[in-house]
Amino acid sequence: MFTFLLVDDEKELIETIAQRLHQRGFGVDCAFSGMDALNRLEKGGAIDVVVLDVKMPDLDGIKLVEIIKEKHPLIEVVMMTGHATIDSAIEAMKFGAFDYLTKPCDLDDLIAKATKAIARKKEREAEILSLRMKPYISDREREERIARILEK
């Protein structure tokens, strides 16, 4: 299993999703603002996938995904949005979000997308580890290749 960080200013929605994910055996943490999410990520811990609302009052979800991917490039982000802001969710994918869901989201759909995101994360981690183990490439070339992996 893996661990979610659910981020949305709609506290009841997030707590309901968290409870349902927890019942299925997933680790779950919740943040009710963009700044709260960044603080939780900075503390470290085992966050594998962030499920992030596009519209929040303190820090826009699009900007937040950009910050997350800059500071924590291996953490995958799934955007969550109302029907009126699907274009915003797609825009967030340009900044590195893995996929998006519409609200209210189906729990099985959320788990399926998160599972695919985790598979991508593990694949990228393995590629980076493999590059770090190769003694015959220069540090510069290694860092360039790692940067390309993180841009995928």
Tell me the per-residue pLDDT of 50-96, one tens digit each, with 9 for 90 and over: 999 888 888 888 889 999 999 999 899 999 887 656 677 677 778 88
CATH number of residue 18's parent domain: 3.40.50.2300
- Domain membership flag for residue 150: no
Q: Is residue 151 domain-resident?
A: no
**Overall pTM > 0.85:** yes
Hey, what are 59's tokens? 């820090």
Q: Is residue 110 part of a domain?
A: yes
Crossing angle between the packed helical segments 34-42 and 61-71, to the nearest 10 degrees: 10
Does residue 9 come out as left (phi exceeding 0), alpha (psi in the -120 to 50 range) or beta? alpha
Two structure tokens written together for 94: 């340009």
Q: Is 43:37 a contact under the CB 8 Å cutoff?
A: no
Total structural domains within the chain = 1
42 contact partners, CB below 8 Å, separation of at least 6 = 71
- In a domain, residue 61? The reply is yes
Full domain range(s) for residue 89: 3-121
Examine the pLDDT at 103 and tell me if it is beyond 90.
no
Residue 27 has pLDDT above 90, yes or no: yes
Range 124-145 average pLDDT: 89
